[in-house]
Structure 1
């Protein structure tokens, strides 16, 4: 007999409320922390494991691949079997995969463990917010989500510092092993204090076929881009196209699809996700290339390279909520247009990062402008995606946008090194990487500009408050 789910029974300010927020924050913060520290460690990992650039791309992308492919399925599992239960499964799986990452003797094992980490992340990431949504009484949900997102921002803020410090003073392996004690605390709190909730109307059929096809399509696309010029790359491209088409066919015909295709009939929803794909692709590429440029060409150690992007997080902490309030007053088109354009300007300002880099002159102005644009854009984008979907599809809409953002970063990091002529061991060659860096930053600025133009021409300017959508007080994830 299935256990009875408790829905909407927890209040803010109570021990139970604090426990739910703590468990959700620790779990999602663990996944977020891991995402921010890996880029800082890539150069050191490459040297220690004798990894090629393609292998380092897979280290960064393996997690994103399985996360983007399975996050919608993870949300469905939580709705059906219990949000807390699936969240705990994901946390345990993420921790176990993290231990494997830290023990990896070669790049192949590390890549496989990163793929497993993404599976755990796909279970715990949607579950963290769903636990809050289901456990708290309706009047306290907005405050609980605000606390969750604000505390999550702290994980983003300390990520580069923690990662850089561990790489510099201990070992890159500790950026993964640190997840184990965090996971233990998270599971204990969740099991003891978080009530179980589920959706009584959840799908009774799990779309495993759709999940497999999505994973194969994204994986084959990434392989074709990363291994471009190799003998198997064309075949991977063919597999990517075939499985992508089959995915659309399956999602259209299956009784309870992982992805409801009719949600894309709304022009604003489709345009918002197209803009998300472009902007988050550029975001992933900028942070990937900047971190390696500072270490390979600029001579920064891991800690200094990690701290270099801290202004982005500070801008998000201080200004993301203001961007949301601006969109509430004037509509989303202006912030969703000018946010990416400001990010593009910041990207171009960082073209001067070279062997003689001066942080205050070459990095700080550009990375700060980049962060200002991101803070202007993120909250309006989230609210617009949710406002464009019917209320009963809000969870799907959020999951789709999350998956699109991860897929954008995944494919940009896979494609750009090939497009700028970087491959093999050249990521460790200052001369070769320096030339590729400039081309990559210009390409990223072009993606950001395209995202701004999509917003200007395709996003309606309806004031978001008209649909009663509450904009987040802050955002814990970028």
Structure 2
């Protein structure tokens, strides 16, 4: 296939289509976290159902994202990218129209399938549209614009939920319709050379085993009363997945990548760090809205520093990683995140959002700004030539799986710390007992996240050792 599958005049249009589509996927989790308290109230969802509303999306996305990349190679990147947008927008409209928690969970799972097809194609289309000499600048524009929209997404979501009345949270999902249609219109007919490769295999058995194993694992971690056989079935499915991947002619996950110590340790750092991040950022809005009298729009003040600092610091952090190595920056950044979440643990009983919580999340944003680019660089360093795309896909999948497990397990931790009193964790109330129990519950979440981030800092030091 030629270096570029599109005409020069179409490249910038393809770039904007990729930005619009990737932005929908990037902002989904943060916007949904902000809208969760309103959704729980409107749908009558329990804490476990609220966990599944987010976990269903992460489950299908993390299990299928590697297959999505292979499907693009097989059937054409633009075709799979466009199909992903259609599925994602359809799932978003189903979310906006949901009347029960079960309908919302199903719609979120559909969105995850769409994202798994759409997200890998976004960067791949930009890479294929531009010749090598111009590719770096184009990917830089893609990353910068995606970071900006990721930062603005929670603000729009907070505005809709705060000022939109009973349909405010539904508007959050409906927003994806014009974005998706615009991306489809931009991409239409502009990639005539993107015909795919009929010989490329798509690992559907691996995708099925991964989905089954991760889904059963999420069930065990979310439901305290899950039967014992579910845990055994989860382990058997995941073991079967690993065995199949070692034998499959075209595996979605090439296990040989993990023989490289840098790659293996980097992905372990990714897992524990994103476990910490996802747990806090999912349960923080629920805590702030239900007990600290903070509006969904005000909650975005805890998200903005993270998005902004990652956008501002990623480029200089990448240059510093090239000069001093990724390990020291990853360790320093992870240590800052651990300190920030320890602060949230200490201050959670006070419920002082503006004076204590926001400064802590800003400190976490500073740490993540130092980590994200070196973490990506280390993952790429650990891959052989020609496998950088696969390495990037694995690293992204590991981050999604970490979020899935964190939300499931941290919900159990929060519910246990809250206790059995009414109204329950994440339900709005103003009694002293509820405020104290909510502070204790979120404090337990923050403490667990702090310990995981500290573990990431220790593991990152292993990446600093010279590779032979």
Q: Using structure 2 for the length normalisation, give the TM-score.
A: 0.93
CA displacement 1:161-197 (0-9 Å, x = unmatched)? 1111111122211111111111111001011434543
- Aligned mates of 2:43, 2:322 — CA distance in 1: 49
CA RMSD between the two structures:
1.9
Query: Structure 2 vs 1, CA of residues 410 and 131 (structure 1 numbering), >3 Å: closer, same or farther?
Result: same
**Matching residue of 1:456:** 461
CA contact (8 A) 1:34 1:175 kept: no
CA distance 1:250–1:436, shift in 2 (3 Å) = same
Q: Higher mean Cα deviation, 242-251 or 309-318? A: 309-318
Contact 2:69 2:121 in 1 (8 A): yes
CA distance in 1, matches of 2:81, 2:129: 13
1:194-343, aligned counterparts within 5 Å? 194-197=191-194, 204-228=200-224, 230=225, 232-343=226-337
Aligned 1:129-168 pairs, distance under 5 A: 129-168=123-162
Contact 2:18 2:125 in 1 (8 A): yes
Match in the other structure for 2:448: 443
1:175 lines up with 2:177 in the alignment: no
Matched, 1:184 2:181: yes
User: C-alpha distance in 2, partners of 1:355/1:456?
Assistant: 33
Match of 1:125 in 2: 119
1:108 is aligned, of 98, 102, 106, to: 102
Q: CA deviation at 1:308?
A: 2.5
Q: Is the 8 A contact 1:272 1:459 kept in 2?
A: no
Note closer, same or farther for the CA distance 1:227–1:186 as it changes in structure 2 (3 Å cut): same
- State whether residues 332 and 460 of structure 1, in contact with CA within 8 Å, keep that contact through their aligned partners in structure 2: no
Looking at structure 2, the residues matched to 42 and 338 of structure 1 have their Cα atoms a distance apart, in angstroms, of 32
Q: Distance in 2 between matches of 1:390 and 1:248?
A: 21
Question: Deviation at 1:356?
Answer: 5.4
Q: 1:198 to 1:408 in 2, by over 3 A?
A: farther
Residue 353 of structure 1: how far off its partner (Å): 4.5
- What residue is the counterpart of 1:427 in the other structure? 426
Q: Distance in 2 between matches of 1:323 and 1:390?
A: 23
* Residue number in structure 2 paired with 1:473: none
- For residues 38-95 of structure 1, give each alpha carbon's deviation from its aligned partner in whole angstroms, at most 9, with x where no partner exists: 0001111111111100000011111111000000000000011111010000000000
Aligned 8 A contact 1:89 1:123 in 2:
yes
Aligned match of 2:430? none
> Deviation of residue 354 (structure 1)?
4.6
Determine the C-alpha separation between the residues in 2 that align with 1:352 and 1:53: 24
- Matches of 1:360 and 1:48, distance apart in 2: 27
Contact 2:51 2:411 in 1 (8 A): no
Contact kept in structure 1, 2:72 and 2:80, CA below 8 Å: yes
Q: 1:199 Cα shift?
A: 6.3
Change (3 A) 1:461 1:147: farther
Give the whole-Å Cα distance in 2 for the aligned partners of 1:459 and 1:215. Answer: 34
**Cα distance, 1:432–1:131 mapped onto 2, change above 3 Å:** same
Structure 1 length-normalised TM: 0.91
Cα drift, residue 234 of structure 1:
2.0
CA contact (8 A) 2:5 2:194 kept: no
| Equivalent residues of 2:351, 2:439 under 8 A apart | no
Q: Which residue of 1 aligns with 2:43?
A: 49
Q: How does 1:55-70 map to 2 (within 5 A)?
A: 55-70=49-64
SS in structure 2 of the partner of residue 460 of structure 1: coil
Q: CA deviation at 1:30?
A: 1.1
- How far is 1:110 from its partner? 0.2
Q: 1:104-140: CA deviations, max 9, x gaps?
A: 1100000000000000000000000010111211111
SS of the residue 2:169 aligns to: coil
Residue 468 (structure 1) aligns with: none
- Provide the C-alpha distance between the structure 2 equivalents of 1:183 and 1:196, rounded to a whole number of angstroms: 23
Conserved in 2, the CA contact under 8 Å of 1:98 and 1:113? yes
Provide the rounded CA distance (Å) in 2 between the counterparts of 1:155 and 1:86: 23
Unmatched segments (≥5 aa) in structure 2? 428-433
The number of residues matched between the two structures is: 454
Aligned counterparts of 2:270 and 2:201: Cα–Cα separation in 1: 29
Shift of 1:453: 0.7
Change (3 A) 1:367 1:69: same
Which secondary structure state, in structure 1, belongs to the residue aligned with residue 321 of structure 2?
A: helix
With over 3 angstroms needed to count, the CA separation of the structure-2 counterparts of 1:101 and 1:240, relative to structure 1, is same
Give matches, 1:455-474, under 5 Å. Answer: 455-461=460-466
CA contact (8 A) 1:268 1:460 kept: no
Whole-Å separation in 1 of the counterparts to 2:195 and 2:387: 16
